Amino acid sequence: MTAIQDDAIAELAPLIGTARACRAVGRSRASWYRTHHPRPKPPPRPRQRPARALTDAERAEVIGLLTSQRFCDLPPAQVWARLLDEDSDYLCSISTMYRLLREQRMVRERRRQASHPAHVKPELVATAPNQVWSWDITKLRGPWKWTWYQLYVVIDVYSRYAVGWTVATRESAALARDLLDACTKAEHIGRDQLTIHADRGTSMTSRTVAQLLADLGVTRSHSRPHVSNDNPYSEAQFKTLKYAPTFPGRFTDLGHARRFTDDFLTYYNTIHRHSGIGLHTPADVHTGRHHHIRKARQRVLDDAYAQHPERFRSRPHAPTIPATSWINPPTPETNSDLSHPA
């Protein structure tokens, strides 16, 4: 819009004058002159040296004192305080000492700083049950304020099946070890078959759990610090649990929490149709029954299509489960040979 106005002013100015042309097109005359007749900026005036500034000899004295063998390892605040305590002549303020050191490029961090290596993003894939498990601990509100119960849940990433769970009054590495040991025995996990993923809680990274998994030949995997998306399956299941219509605001006691958890996770495994696995139950996918169930679903859909094809836009197909389930699928830049799951 401004460029159109300037073109109109340039055409009208020779005929009616610049002022009337600017009024006609609605543009400020000052803006017009500022744009097309800019005034050169005057060169900056040299800054006068303040009368209270240190002389060159005094500046050299301060630098020499700060870099002397006595004070070279001390910060200016320490030097300033020690000189005052010794009743020496006052040289300058602490900020002036820092300013003189900055001019000489002598200010830097001299302490040894801790350096932490970058954590690698976990990239795990499961193409069948009992290849990748995910486990986590969440809090359940107890009967009184500041009273919590700890819910431990282990799920299979491919089938979403809750392999095992327990509710306790505290978070403990020993309880986590016992739960994982019972789950691997119940599922008959062999050596070098399974990877277990968890976040970096104290129980997950404990030596007790690490030693158990090493003895079982199970590979450990951990989320990056402060990255909840690295453990999405456990987080999603906890949300399903806590957003259930029957989830109580508080549990009356430990027995109440255990009964509710047992009932819900049994329902979750055997009745709940999961959208991420083709609307099958986790138990059906975990045991392989979903193949027969899908064929039966497809026969029903085929019969419905044969009877009333006009009710469908195209031939219906029963949903399938993804061939792979990823925790952090690799990007094309990371590995161009691997594609994202459907």
pLDDT tens for the 342 residues of the chain, in order: 677 788 888 888 888 888 888 888 888 888 888 888 777 878 888 888 888 889 999 999 999 999 999 988 888 999 999 989 887 778 899 999 999 999 999 888 767 777 777 788 899 999 999 999 999 999 999 999 999 999 999 999 999 999 999 999 999 999 999 999 999 999 999 999 999 999 999 999 999 999 999 999 999 999 998 888 899 999 999 999 999 999 998 999 999 999 999 999 999 999 999 999 999 999 999 999 999 999 999 999 999 999 999 999 999 999 999 999 999 998 876 444 444 443
The domain of 216 spans: 127-275
Whether residue 45 lies inside any domain: the answer is no
Do 216 and 291 lie in one domain? The reply is no
Same structural domain for residues 315 and 232?
no
Same domain, 205 and 297: no
Q: Is residue 302 part of a domain?
A: yes
Helix axes 56-66, 94-103, angle to 10 degrees: 90
> 312 and 271, same structural domain?
no
Structural domain includes residue 94: no
Do residue 180 and residue 268 come from a single domain? Answer: yes
In a domain, 116, yes or no: no
In a domain, 90, yes or no: no
Query: Are 299 and 243 in a shared domain?
Result: no
Tally DSSP H helices, then E strands, for the chain: 12, 7
The reply to whether 91 falls in a domain is no
Is 248 part of a structural domain of the chain? yes
In the listed set 244, 275, 306, which residue is the last one of a domain according to the structure? 275
8: Cα separation from own chain's centroid: 54
Same domain, 213 and 243: yes
CA 338 to chain centroid, in Å, comes to 23
Instruction: Judge contact between 280 and 292, C-beta under 8 A.
Output: no
pTM: 0.66
Q: How many domains does the chain have?
A: 3
Q: How far is CA 341 from the centre of its chain?
A: 22
Q: Are 135 and 247 in a shared domain?
A: yes
One domain for residues 165 and 252? yes
**Could you tell me if 219 and 305 lie in one domain?**
no
